[in-house]
Amino acid sequence: MAKIDFGGVMEEVVTRDEFPLDKAREVLAGETVAVIGYGVQGPAQGLNMRDNGVNVIVGQRQGEHYWDKAVADGWEPGKTLFPIEEACERGTIINYLVSDAAQMILWPTVSERLNEGDALYFSHGFSIVYKDQTKVIPPENIDVIMVAPKGSGRNVRLNFLDGSGINSSFAVHQDYTGRAMERCLALGIAVGSGYLFPTTFEKEVFSDLTGERGVLMGALAGVMEAQYNLLREKGHSPSEAFNETVEELTQSLIRLVAENGMDWMFSNCSTTAQRGALDWAPRFRDAVAPVFEELYESVRSGKETERVLAANSQPDYEQKLRAELDAVKNSEMWRAGAAVRALRPENQKK
């Protein structure tokens, strides 16, 4: 591992220099990686591994949209695409990439097909950490490992195709064969990670659930809506409110942050913007700190897991979810957003 200074704290990470693709292929030679589930992470990780020369098959329910998607992506029924039961029987490494709720439901099907020395691979610590709720308890005679890309399946694939890769955390929960770590790192490189950093199943799920409910999605959506609504109440037009809330952030400022950090973004804005941001950032930080504390405790205690599993297990969940998403889509703010996006120069040329 390479030692890197992260803001004064030294951490060990694994890059493609320490663990090159050729080494990953050697470790995985003779293995059959069965990607179970072709929804969010399954397509990206499966295609990336296939492109990297790993022996990959896909397990998916026949007759579903995702089966057809797998066929469209070049997986061949009876050769590289199988029903879930058969894929599990054929695989020596089971990449368990169905949704968290589906992992709980499918576990009896998967667990009874695990053989001694197999590896069970996750991209999220959810089912293992909250085993009292999910009942996902692996047998003792297999490896249990995790590679968790820090991005959506779409970006895992896009970053792989452009050569950049996406950063991932990794962890070994159970090492039966003595090869769990090398299997884990090999898979991390094979799925296209930019670099890999160590974690535990518990730390991964706590940070992940907090992050997606917080800055990455929940807090971002909530703060945007609050500012947009305020500007509209004060008499600003939908176009002005949306541009000042979302468009400038996503099309300009966040790209500056991505390039060189927040301080660099501040230094490349007007002095008026600099002063305002530096003055108000601590007030927002202090205002939301109690909310984040409450959120983290809800994650740690399992309350968030209980809510997720209960909601996702309802037979009409998809219908209810569609109604919630439609409410967001049809709100004035995001209808304004659709109009703004349509006016972008690249869309005007279409």
pLDDT of residue 2: 78
Collapsing DSSP states into helix, strand and coil, what is residue 95? strand
Q: How far apart are CA 336 and CA 299, in angstroms?
A: 34
Short-list 26, 41, 34, CA closest to 75 = 34
**Angle at alpha carbon of residue 149, lines to 151 and 77, rounded to 5°:** 100
Asked whether the beta carbons of 189 and 167 are under 8 A apart, the reply is: no
Q: What is the reported pLDDT for 101?
A: 86
Tokens 């053989």 — which residue? 115
pLDDT of residue 258: 87
pLDDT score, position 349: 66
Which residues, including other chains, have CB under 8 Å from residue 266's CB and lie 6 or more apart? 273, 274, 277, 278
pLDDT score of 350:
59
Question: Is 241:231 a contact under the CB 8 Å cutoff?
Answer: yes
Show Cβ contacts of residue 2 under 8 Å, excluding neighbours closer than 6 positions: 12, 13, 14, 15, 17, 18
pLDDT value, residue 339: 93
Q: At what angle do helices 180-190 and 41-51 cross, to 10 degrees?
A: 90
User: With contact defined as beta carbons under 8 Å apart, do 44 and 156 qualify?
Assistant: yes
Do 38 and 68 meet the contact criterion of CB atoms below 8 Å apart?
A: no
pLDDT, the chain, mean: 93
Prediction pTM value: 0.87
Domains by residue range for the chain, with CATH: 2-199 (3.40.50.720), 211-348 (1.10.1040.10)
Contacts of 289 (CB under 8 A, 6+ apart): none
The residues carrying an active-site annotation are 124
> What is the pLDDT, as a whole number, of residue 64?
87
- 152 and 40 Cβ atoms separated by less than 8 Å: yes
CB atoms within 10 A of CB 64: 12
Q: CA-CA distance, 265 to 258, in Å (whole number)?
A: 9
Question: Nearest CA to 270 among 289, 248, 250?
Answer: 248
* Spatial distance between the Cα atoms of 66 and 328, rounded to a whole number of angstroms: 25
pLDDT tens readout for residues 31-55: 999 999 999 899 999 999 999 999 9
Give the per-residue pLDDT at 191. Answer: 96
CA distances from 100 to 39, 40, 117, 308, 325 (A): 12, 12, 24, 9, 20
- b/e string for 258-278 if b means 16 or more Cβ within 10 A? eeeeeeebbeebeeeeeeeee
Residue position matching structure tokens 């990780």: 45
Q: Rounded to an integer, what distance in angstroms lies between the CA atom of residue 123 and that of residue 107?
A: 16
Separation between Cα atoms, residue 131 and residue 144, nearest integer Å: 14
Query: For residue 9, what are the β-bridge partners?
Result: 6
Q: What angle do CA 182, 185, 187 make, to 5 degrees?
A: 105
Given this model, what pLDDT does residue 345 score? 81
User: How would you classify the pairing of strands 93-96 and 56-59?
Assistant: unpaired
**Cβ(42)–Cβ(222) below 8 Å:** no
Enter the tokens of residue 263: 């301080």
**Residue ranges of the chain with per-residue pLDDT less than 70:** 349-350
